[in-house]
Amino acid sequence: MSNLERRVVILGSTGSIGTQTIDVIERLNQRGYAFAVVGLAAGRNIDRLVDQVEHLRPAAVCVKERTGQEPLRKQFPTLRVLVGESGLEELAQLPGVDLVVNAIVGAVGLPPTLAALSVGRTVALANKESLVIGGELVTQFLNKHGGAIIPIDSEHNALFQCLRAGKGTEVRRVILTASGGPFLRTPKEKLDRVRREEALQHPNWTMGARITIDSATMVNKGFEVIEAHYLFSLPYEKIDVVVHPDSMIHGFVEYHDGSLLAELASPDMRIPIQYALTYPERVDTDLPRLAFQEISQMSFEPLEQDRFPAFATVLHAAGQGGTAPAAINAADEVLVQRFLAGDIPFTGIARGLDAVLSRWLTECGDLNPASHGSLSLDALLAADRWAREAARELSF
Ligand SMILES: NC(=O)c1ccc[n+]([C@@H]2O[C@H](COP(=O)([O-])OP(=O)(O)OC[C@H]3O[C@@H](n4cnc5c(N)ncnc54)[C@H](OP(=O)(O)O)[C@@H]3O)[C@@H](O)[C@H]2O)c1
């Protein structure tokens, strides 16, 4: 056995990916590896964060709001307790850290990714918004400061693994698989009336609320196409999507010589998380493994665009480049919240995204930095604010 030792910071430690990351680290340490969690960041779930601090004894933590600092300071007098976005950035740059796991949900995850990369850190990236919104900036930071990204998202983790088998110039295309979500077979005329609880019921994965709804609308798959574009420097026409309801194959890479490489694993996020934590090594695990009886029943089908109109809207925004993906992400964050709050119907998410993108094209398209060649974090955040407002104003 190798003597893997790593000092890790986990941003978004109280969420679905964050808690699974801690679970994987505990399993690895039980096997004799030495993963030390030196920093944790959470939003509002202070009780869970307190338990994690008790258990993992990090040197520093960050919480979203000032009110969250008090209980931590009281209980752990020597703990450094940071707050807000500047605290996230400080945590992302803690000295002596080998890996920053970014498992925050939403646009708020982009600045800490940039902060970590600006000091040459390796980022195990679950926060897909970092690439959806800031793909160009992230690429610039990677080129300038020499950090690295290891994708946690299962599809990109799969592609990352399959791409180790050949050169970039040998790739004909990559294919992302999509489960199809809870409404793959729902009659289209009923989609307007599906309830929040039904949309939150993903058939194969247990995830945070936002990505679960994004999987039901296929916004998530559009975002994943953008992620793949930046992560692997691939033009959009070389990135395909296929619906694979079994969620056993997570991604394919097709090479020019006709070889199609696939990564298969149980639909359990702890498998790509472990790969990201131990990369470039692979170590043994007691996590669930795929059985051959299951593999013999796999199926594939094309993505039905008129069932999932938001997929095309996200790709349209991706094609515009510049601040358009930031705007579509921000609008989606608001529309998903509005749907979860019972304020708009499920189909309102797709209609709302289309409306915000149409407004962006008429009001902001000419100002888009993509047409001028300069893109700053400020421009992205301004587009984010503009689109949130536009999405809040929509009525259905
Ligand atoms: N879950 C999956 O299986 C999966 C798979 C692939 C990719 N991803 C991506 O991974 C990311 C996380 O997803 P998730 O499902 O784990 O989400 P989640 O369960 O909702 O967890 C989100 C985490 O972010 C924290 N957070 C939210 N706002 C924050 C802020 N302003 N400051 C600091 N922390 C904040 C939350 O803290 P509190 O809970 O304490 O408020 C929580 O720890 C997303 O980008 C998602 O698209 C997830």
For 360, the token pair is: 């962006």
Nearest to 106 by CA among 124, 135, 136, 132: 132
With a cut of 90, say whether residue 182 has pLDDT above it: yes
Give the rounded distance of the alpha carbon of 179 from its chain centre. Answer: 16
Predicted local confidence at residue 2, as pLDDT: 67
Question: How far, in Å, CA of 331 to CA of 315, rounded?
Answer: 15
Q: In what order do the strands lie in the sheet with 148-151?
A: 80-83, 60-63, 34-41, 5-11, 99-102, 122-125, 148-151
Predicted local confidence at residue 57, as pLDDT: 98
Q: How many angstroms separate the alpha carbon of residue 102 from the centre of ligand 1?
A: 9
CA distances to 101, 224, 309 from 240, rounded to whole Å, are 27, 11, 16
pLDDT (average), residues 59-76: 97
Query: 3-state SS of 85-150?
Result: HHHHHHHHCCCCCCEEEECCCCHHHHHHHHHHHHCCCEEEECCCHHHHHHHHHHHHHHHHHCCEEE
Predicted local confidence at residue 202, as pLDDT: 86
Helix (H, G, I), strand (E, B) or coil at 235: coil
Residues with CB under 6 A from ligand 1: 12-18, 41-45, 64, 103-106, 108, 126-129, 153, 205, 207-208, 211, 269
Question: How far, in Å, CA of 99 to CA of 138, rounded?
Answer: 16
Predicted local confidence at residue 396, as pLDDT: 84
pLDDT tens-digit map of 115-144: 999 999 999 999 999 999 999 999 999 999
Listing DSSP states for 283-341 in one string gives: ----S----HHHHTT---B---TTT-HHHHHHHHHHHH-TTHHHHHHHHHHHHHHHHHT
With a cut of 90, say whether residue 260 has pLDDT above it: yes
Confidence of residue 364 (pLDDT cuts 50, 70, 90): confident
Phi, psi of 198 (to 5 degrees): -70, -40
pLDDT (average), residues 176-197: 96
The half-sphere exposure of 70 on its side-chain side, counting CA atoms within 13 A, is: 3
Predicted local confidence at residue 206, as pLDDT: 87
**227-230 long-range contacts, Cβ below 8 Å, gap at least 24?**
227/128, 227/131, 227/132, 227/135, 227/151, 227/153, 227/156, 228/155, 228/156, 228/159, 228/174, 228/176, 229/135, 229/318, 230/131, 230/135, 230/136, 230/138, 230/139
Q: How many angstroms separate the alpha carbon of residue 213 from the centre of ligand 1?
A: 13
Mean pLDDT estimate for the chain: 95
Predicted local confidence at residue 293, as pLDDT: 82
Nearest to 28 by CA among 313, 289, 303, 270: 270
Predicted local confidence at residue 297, as pLDDT: 84
Predicted local confidence at residue 163, as pLDDT: 98
pLDDT tens-digit map of 365-379: 766 766 555 689 999
Nearest to 278 by CA among 19, 1, 20, 6: 6
Question: How far, in Å, CA of 308 to CA of 217, rounded?
Answer: 6
Q: How many angstroms separate the alpha carbon of residue 103 from the centre of ligand 1?
A: 5
pLDDT (average), residues 251-276: 97
For 44, the token pair is: 């509002």
Predicted local confidence at residue 367, as pLDDT: 66
pLDDT (average), residues 320-339: 97
With a cut of 80, say whether residue 50 has pLDDT above it: yes
pLDDT (average), residues 150-154: 98
Question: How far, in Å, CA of 196 to CA of 173, rounded?
Answer: 36
Confidence of residue 301 (pLDDT cuts 50, 70, 90): very high
Question: How far, in Å, CA of 106 to CA of 98, rounded?
Answer: 24
- Ligand 1, atom 44, lies closest to the CA of 105
Pocket test for ligand 1, best of 211, 213, 250, 381 (most atoms within 8 A of CB): 211
Name the strand (E) or helix (H) holding 19: helix 16-30
Confidence of residue 291 (pLDDT cuts 50, 70, 90): confident
pLDDT (average), residues 79-86: 98
Q: How many angstroms separate the alpha carbon of residue 16 from the centre of ligand 1?
A: 7
